[in-house]
Structure 1
């Protein structure tokens, strides 16, 4: 997987969201809100190929979480990002 070009993480009024950059990409139905751990992962995987194992490792390295929970969360996040169309 890889993040799609043109999507950036912004902090808007204390909420972390991923938005499309550029006038042609304006579609306010495509704003993706992220919690702190999802935003952390988004920042870490920019410009690199990754999979759910990569996400799991990043979560385990940063947070006090067991591998099974981190893997389940990584699968959920990856699926949400795929459904939102912000990764390929």
Structure 2
């Protein structure tokens, strides 16, 4: 999985948001606000982390079990794919 070029994570007024840049502005109208865990997963995507690595990061950062972490990672990735922000 890889974040498509032209998308960046920014802090705006204390919120983590994904903003389109350049030509992506035409394709992606608006911005996407991420939760704290969503921003954490985004930064993992920037490092080209695998799903398993992302699950491990969630487990180490939050007090959740592996099944919940995997479900959350898969939901996050699905959302990013549906909005055409990442490529699988």
Name the TM-score, length of structure 1 as normaliser.
Answer: 0.83
Higher strand share: 2
Residues 23-71 of structure 1, C-alpha deviations (whole Å, 9 max, x = no match): x222462411100001011112214252x32321111122111111101
Note the residue ranges of structure 2 that are not aligned, 5 or more in a row: none
> Aligned residues, how many?
86
Matched, 1:56 2:31: no
Greater mean alpha carbon deviation, residues 65-74 or residues 53-62: 53-62
Separation in structure 2 between the aligned mates of residue 41 and residue 87 of structure 1, nearest angstrom: 12
Specify the alignment match of 1:7 in structure 2.
Answer: 7
RMSD: 1.7
Name the TM-score, length of structure 2 as normaliser.
Answer: 0.83
